Amino acid sequence: MKFEIRNGKAHISGYVNAVGRDSRPIPTATGEFVEMIEPGAFAEALTRAKNVDMLLNHDENRKLASTSTRSLTLKEDNIGLYAECETSDAEVIEKGQRGELRGWSFGMFVNKDEMEQRGDKIPRRHVQNMDIVEVSIIDSRMLPCYAGTSVECRAEKTVFKETRAVEDPAEVTDTGNEQRDEWQKKINELDIKSRQDMVDALKSKAI
């Protein structure tokens, strides 16, 4: 996760989840499995989604950005689901500066999957079709990273909302600090030059 502060706003970017790769083992009530999001599943979900919000720790009361306002951009490439967002949320900026932002997560409703039995290995679940509900950035309160399931009502039926998280600590860049450092450097250079000019002037008078 890249976390850059620009003019009092946080620009956050990174990969929410990979495609075509096995996850870490996911514990469930019926046993463990590894999970693979099939390539194209995110892209198809995004074409159907009217809006996707970015939240803090999956908290619907802590909306940071959204695709509908263009403060959040989501796309699938050959690596996975890539996100870019801009937020002026003071708490998130502070957490980023303190190194408390630890990774990405997302919520989904799985519409089509297939379980692959692999002999003595942990079964592999192939997620082929989904609806993406939201993406989240997670802080230190959500560690260790997790997979979770909750029951919700959707279109007058009971469905399972699943969440997945990946640890990806923020790499923080504060462009304001960089500018201040550059200004200080220029001030120091001017100060050195003025001092040298004074010395040269005194030398010329002495001669």
205 and 160, same structural domain?
no
Total count of domains within the chain: 2
Mean pLDDT is lowest, of 43-52, 63-72, 98-107, for 98-107
140 and 58, same structural domain?
yes
119 and 66, same structural domain?
yes
The enclosing domain of 78 has a CATH number of 3.20.16
139 and 193, same structural domain?
no
Mean pLDDT of the residues in the chain: 83
Statement: residue 187 has pLDDT above 60: no
86 and 105, same structural domain?
yes
Mean pLDDT of 184-193: 60
Half-sphere exposure in the Cβ direction for 201 (13 Å, CA): 6
| Alpha carbon distance 196, 200 (integer Å) | 6
The pLDDT of residue 26: 87
Task: Give burial (CB, 10 Å; 0-12/13-18/19+) of 158.
Answer: exposed
131 and 197, same structural domain?
no
End-to-end Cα, the chain, rounded Å: 62
- Tell me the helices (H) and strands (E) count for the chain, helix number first: 3, 12
Cα maximum dimension of the chain:
97
Parent domain of 98: 2-169
161 and 84, same structural domain?
yes
185 and 144, same structural domain?
no
Between 15 and 192, where is the model more confident? 15
| Alpha carbon distance 24, 75 (integer Å) | 23
H or E element in which residue 182 lies = helix 175-206
Statement: residue 37 has pLDDT above 90: yes
Evaluate the CA torsion angle 85, 87, 93, 95 in order and state its sign. Answer: negative
Between 59 and 145, where is the model more confident? 59
Q: In this predicted model, what pLDDT tens digit does every residue of 136-177 receive, in sequence order?
A: 999 888 755 566 666 556 555 666 778 888 887 888 887 665
82 and 66, same structural domain?
yes
194 and 161, same structural domain?
no
Q: In this predicted model, what pLDDT tens digit does every residue of 88-147 receive, in sequence order?
A: 999 999 999 988 998 899 999 999 999 999 988 999 999 999 999 999 999 888 755 566
How far from chain centre, in Å, is Cα 190?
A: 41
Statement: residue 84 has pLDDT above 60: yes
65 and 105, same structural domain?
yes
